[in-house]
Amino acid sequence: MEDPALDRIAEALEGAECVAALTGAGVSTLCGIPDFRGPQGLYGKPGAERIFDIDWFDRDPSVYYRGCRDLVYGLGGFSPGPVHAALKRLEDEGRLQGVITQNIDMLHTKAGSSRVYEIHGTPAVHHCRFCGNAKTFGEIRAMIDAAGGLDALDAGYVPRCGCGGAYKPDIVFFGEPLPEVAFMEAQELAMRADLMLVLGTSLTVFPAAGLPRLTLQKGGKIAIVNAQPTPLDDYAVARGDDLAAFASRFTDGK
DSSP SS3 for 145: helix
Cα of 94 vs its chain's centroid, Å: 22
Please state, in angstroms and rounded to a whole number, the distance separating the CA atoms of residues 74 and 70. Answer: 4
- What would you measure as the largest C-alpha separation in the chain, in angstroms? 61
Residues 6+ apart with CB under 8 A from 44: 37, 38
207: cis peptide before it, omega within 30°? Answer: yes
Beta strands in the chain (DSSP E): 19-23, 98-101, 116-118, 121-128, 134-136, 167-171, 195-199, 221-225, 238-240
Catalytic (active-site) positions = 120
